[in-house]
Structure 1
Amino acid sequence: MVNPNCFNYKRRAESTLRVAAGTAPATCGRPLPAAAVRGAEPERAEGAEAARGCPQPHPARRSLSFRFPGGGGGPRAAGAGPDEPMASALRPRSPLLLGRLSGPRRGVCAPAMAPPHRFALELPGCTLAHFAVGGDALGALPDPSAAALLGPPGRSYSLCVPLAPGGDCAARVRAARLHQRLLHQLRREPLRRCRLRPLLCYGPGGGAGGVQHGFLLHDPSDSPDTRRALFSLLGESPEGPRLGEFVGDARLQVWQRLWELRDGAGWRQVGPRERVVSAPEPALHPVVPDLPSSGVFPHREAARAVLEACIPFIPEAQAVLDLVDQCPEQAQKGKFPVIAIEGLDATGKTTVTQSVSDSLNAVLLKSPPACISQWRKIFDDEPTIIRRAFYSLGNYIVASEIAKESTKSPVIVDRYWHSTAAYAIATEVTGGLQHLPPAHHPIYQWPRDLLKPDLVLLLTVSPEERMHRIERRGMERTREEAELEANSIFRQKVEVSYQRMENPCCHVVDASPSREEVLQMVLSVIQNN
């Protein structure tokens, strides 16, 4: 069966690759980069990456990253949840052949052996339903809530952006930007009337590098305009995408069928429909193994590689890297104490950090530092992997400032690594609090090459008090800050992630009382630690 969540590969003209597990030919090629936000051409991005010598995954491995049940003629699509759309996979083709092969060869994918993929669908209430498509036809029915979204009344479709296991940072950046572009397009008319939910495709082994991010789109009215709009949206891509569609019955049985775009023939259904069956929930959320390469970077070079991949379409990335290159690889703290103060917006960080620095005659620093804050809005509009790489490198620039200033006086830092990590975890891990990495997971550990503060304080206030302060001050908010306001589960995930940080941990301080009371509590914690 063909994976509907993949853009089809174009076959290389000079040679045919064979999959190690069998004799089926596998097409190959690198993913087409997402359209540049500010006009950068895909060819420029590809060329820049090649010039940097980024290692590319072997084409056979890329083919194996998709599921081809029953030895069917192509990759398989990601499954979708009950209230959601069909699974459609976008599959990359060789950039050398883009636009050069036409006719019946467009949309053709050779069969290959690959492990089955599973899917995680976020349901109302921030729960997750895990399911698979095909496989054991006698498997259990999907979660009733998921089946209700996938089946009647209405109709569901899905799209997932592929990422081969072992794909480098440039491939991750391209996939993330394509995912964001699709999200913006799916929120426009006529598709905006449909219900849109996050959908993940992952391998049963749960290893790093195999998660594909996508969407489940559910049309309650089952309008033919929805399918036509999706055909039009996917048909604009230079690649030959396939669209997955879910159909169900009154017994909550759900099947998936695939649509493929062929040159000169329009959209056609591909192969027989396959049954959607339930899948066990993995011990860890599927994205957790990928966090060190997609948002919670364990060292400077991991974040640096992401911004290097962004240079062709974000010129400011080079300016940030130039500043990072001026910093020592391992900044060392001076003899004076370094105290980081964390907290959500409107918890009093600005007031407390200024008051504490005045009381201790300390230097006050902020992350991101002033030298890169001018580009903050640019990176805040990018996907999580790019946004977090920017803030992570900002922490290393601040570390060099801390190293210098802590030789002369105490240093107070307004936000540091903990906020970068907490927001990344809360953003990437779909679902509720129960899906966060457990306490003591390595993701909560401080990066080994980042200057560590002597003490970290976490200011907290009640949600009601925080909202009152935001409204009173008319504060300008980033995308994530707006999410804090609108989504209480997201806010709780950020707070719990903060509280699970280790080495150093966060000392919680209630910032609800008066300024003077909060200052005295903070000074007391500093003195006792």
Structure 2
Amino acid sequence: GEKTLCHFLLTVIYLSSIITAVSPMDEENIYQETKSNETLMDVNNATEDEIRKRLCQFGVHYTIESIMDVLKHPDNRKEETVYVLLVKYEETRQKAPVFLPEPRNRHPIISIDGFFTHGRTKIAKMVATALFGRRILMPTRHVARLRTYFADPAIKKHYYSLSKYMGAHLAMSYSRSAPVVLERYWHDQAAYVMAKSFEGLIPENSSLYEFPKDLLVPDIMFFVNGALNQNIHNETTAEKYAHNDLANKIATVYRRMRNP
């Protein structure tokens, strides 16, 4: 109990000090693979249900059932890679504990998300190492190789979504023996899609900013709004970041997330 609490408090202090050393830099984001030729939806002229449906099409789901409805559709399930993915997910789910103990009876679970891959990954690795914990990068290693084998690129969006639930099941198991750092969790994909796939921002009071109710909620969450860069005072890089509309839009979306 006391050891776990101490780990948790040290994590907050450690992350806070690291993130002050973050500076902007453009980097590739994994979800850029999920490009679409469809016209961007104007959120100001769409209902919340219409926006939710579009989010689902781009791989942002709010329940595991929603993901399974897509992957188990006859047109998708016949693909061998989807079949393997579903088998791997079920294996991971069955090995996980039925419930997550109270924080005082386990180690902390931390999520670290962010648009800038290098900064996010470096911080996640540093925190996991400092806490003698385990880092879970999504998609998890159990299914990471499947990423290149999908016949239909559109299915890959939902593969990323399912990987969040796989990571959650692993975290439930690992947190009994060590702190867990989740990298590229639900907010990472959701914030990117919300910023990239719509004209304008989803209204601030929308329930679409709420975390899935059936997905493991980390004890603490961080969004890395920049990348670790040796040239911290590089004005050219900073200016480039300041005018990166997508990065700024993602940061705004992330600030609107709630519950948690």
The 3 A distance-change label for structure 1 pair 286 and 399 is closer
Q: State the alpha-carbon separation in 2 of the partners of residues 438 and 498 from structure 1.
A: 13
Aligned residue in 2 for 1:371 = 142
- Equivalent in the alignment of 2:188: 419
Provide the residue aligned with 1:500 in structure 2: 256
Q: 1:398 to 1:291 in 2, by over 3 A?
A: same
Question: Structure 2 residue aligned with 1:393, among 162, 175, 189?
Answer: 162
State the SS of the aligned residue for 1:460. coil
The answer to whether the 8 A contact 1:331-1:451 is kept is no
SS of 1:448 mapped into structure 2: coil
Aligned in 2, Cα 1:503/1:325: closer, same or farther, shift over 3 Å? same
Please give the per-residue CA displacement for 1:148-189, whole angstroms capped at 9, x wherever unaligned.
xxxxxxxxxxxxxxxxxxxxxxxxxxxxx9x96xx5xxxxxx
Tell which has more relative contact order, 1 or 2 (C-alpha 8 A, sep 6+).
Answer: 2
1:413-457 deviations in whole A, cap 9, x for unaligned?
A: 11211112112222331x2xxx21122421111111111100011
1:317 pairs with one of 82, 85, 103? 82
Offset at residue 490 of structure 1 (A): 3.0
1:198 corresponds in structure 2 to 39
Please state whether the residue corresponding to 1:333 is helix, strand or coil: coil
Residues in 2 aligned to 1:284 and 1:330: alpha-carbon distance in whole angstroms: 38
Q: Quick one: distance in 2 between partners of 1:490 and 1:381?
A: 26
Note if contact 1:291-1:425 (Cα within 8 Å) is conserved in structure 2.
Answer: no
Equivalent of 1:337 in 102, 105, 108: 108
Say yes or no: does 1:458 pair with 2:233.
Answer: no
Instruction: State the Cα deviation string for residues 265-320 of structure 1 (Å, max 9, x = none).
Output: xxxxxxxxxxxxxxxx63758841424532321111111121123123x3201111
Taking the aligned partners of 1:346 and 1:393, their CA distance within structure 2 comes to 20
8 Å contact from structure 2 (residues 81, 150) kept in 1: no
* 1:446/1:459 CA distance change after superposition, 3 Å: same
Q: Matches of 2:177 and 2:130 in 1, distance apart?
A: 16
Rounded Cα–Cα distance in structure 2 between residues aligned with 1:348 and 1:427:
20
Show the counterpart of 2:12. none
- Please list, as runs of the form range in 1=range in 2, the aligned pairs for 1:77-226 lying within 5 A after superposition: 183=37, 198=39
Q: Tell me what 2:208 maps to.
A: 443
Match for residue 56 of structure 2 among 293, 296, 316 = 293
Give the aligned residue type for 1:455.
Answer: I
Q: 1:375 to 1:352 in 2, by over 3 A?
A: same
Quickly say closer, same or farther: Cα 1:440–1:377, change in 2 above 3 A: farther
Q: Does 1:304 align with 2:68?
A: yes
CA gap of 1:331–1:496, structure 2 versus 1, over 3 A, is farther
Equivalent residues of 2:114, 2:226 under 8 A apart: no
**Aligned-partner Cα distance in 1 for 2:201–2:190:** 13
Name the structure where helix makes up a greater proportion of residues. Answer: 2
Fraction of identical pairs, as percent: 25
4+ residue stretches of structure 1 with deviation over 6 A?
A: none
**TM-score for both structures, normalised by structure 2:** 0.68
Tell me which residue corresponds to 1:93: none
**Counterpart AA for 1:436:** L
- CA distance in 2: counterparts of 1:283 and 1:323, whole angstroms: 37
Q: 1:380 touches 1:387 (CA, 8 Å); kept in 2?
A: no
* Secondary structure, counterpart of 2:221 in structure 1: strand
Unmatched runs of 5 consecutive residues or more in structure 2? 1-33
Q: Is the 8 A contact 2:81 2:146 kept in 1?
A: yes
Aligned equivalents of 2:181 and 2:151: distance in 1?
Answer: 25
If you compute each CA radius of gyration, which structure gives the higher value, 1 or 2?
A: 1
Q: Distance in 2 between matches of 1:379 and 1:425?
A: 24
Write out per-residue CA displacement over residues 240-268 of structure 1, whole angstroms, 9 at most, x where no aligned residue.
xxxxxxxxxxxxxxxxxxxxxxxxxxxxx
Query: In the TM superposition, what whole-angstrom CA distance separates every residue of 1:58-111 from its partner, at most 9, and x where no partner exists?
Result: xxxxxxxxxxxxxxxxxxxxxxxxxxxxxxxxxxxxxxxxxxxxxxxxxxxxxx
Deviation at 1:380? Answer: 10
The question of whether the paired residues in 2 share the 8 Å contact of 1:426 and 1:494 is answered with yes
CA distance in 1 between counterparts of 2:126 and 2:189 reads 24
Q: 1:199 to 1:439 in 2, by over 3 A?
A: closer
CA displacement, residues 189-239 of structure 1 (integer Å, 9 cap, x when unaligned): xxxxxxxx8366x9xxx9xxxxxxxxxxxxxxxxxxxxxxxxxxxxxxxxx
8 Å contact from structure 1 (residues 333, 402) kept in 2? no
Describe the shift of the 1:493–1:387 C-alpha distance in structure 2 as closer, same or farther (beyond 3 A).
Answer: farther
Q: CA RMSD in A?
A: 3.6
Distance 1:306 1:395 in 2: 16
Contact (CA 8 Å) 2:55, 2:193: kept in 1 or not?
no
Alpha carbons 1:440, 1:502 under 8 Å: kept? no
